Amino acid sequence: MIPLIKREIVDNHHWVSMKEFMEIIAVGQTAPGAVAVNTATFVGYKMARYRGAVAAVLGVSLPSFLVILAIATFLLRFFNTPIFTAFFKGAAGAVVALLAQVSFIFSKEIFVEKLSIILTGVALVALLWLKLHPLLVILICSGLGFWLGNKNRISSEGSLIEEGERRGKEKK
């Protein structure tokens, strides 16, 4: 779903930039529910407030619901046949390819800063070798990203210093 959503809202309609899309996906990953529904909610709200959010959620959810309802109603008796087994093996390969495509697209946008590359490595180690819970990894990397990315922008009182203020203090 993410590549389809990206193509429609970033490439075709230009409703959000690639940077905004990646931020929406990041927030959508942390919020409960399906990423596609969360992403649609954010974009729908940005475009037309509450009506847009409702329309976007229905637009993303309703087709899937109807397809699953049709499968459950008409195709359940054929589910364990060799044809369906072969279909799902092929579909599984396509899903892995779609995930790889999303990873590739995101990596081109994310890996422009050293900090992003380092935090991606930290996340991979935490997920694959340390087997930490994904939510914990998101919280750790978000905290590290905020702290390391804003290290020079935090005042002695703990508030963020705006770019112009920082330049003024550096000149003094």
Which pLDDT score is estimated for 125? 95
Rounded to the nearest 5 percent, the helix, strand and coil shares of the chain are 80, 0, 15
Q: Which residues pair with 40 in a beta bridge?
A: none
Contacts of 101 (CB under 8 A, 6+ apart): 3
Task: Say which residue the tokens 């990203």 belong to.
Answer: 145
Closest CA to 101 of 172, 171, 6: 6
The parts of the chain modelled with pLDDT lower than 50 are: 166-167
d(CA 76, CA 104): 36
Which pLDDT score is estimated for 34? 82
pLDDT tens for 76-103 read: 777 778 888 888 888 999 989 988 888 8
Burial of 145 (0-12, 13-18, 19+ CB in 10 A): middle
Distances (CA, A) of 51 to 35, 42, 43, 57, 96: 19, 12, 11, 10, 34
Closest CA to 106 of 42, 12, 22: 22
Which pLDDT score is estimated for 157? 59
Which pLDDT score is estimated for 155? 56
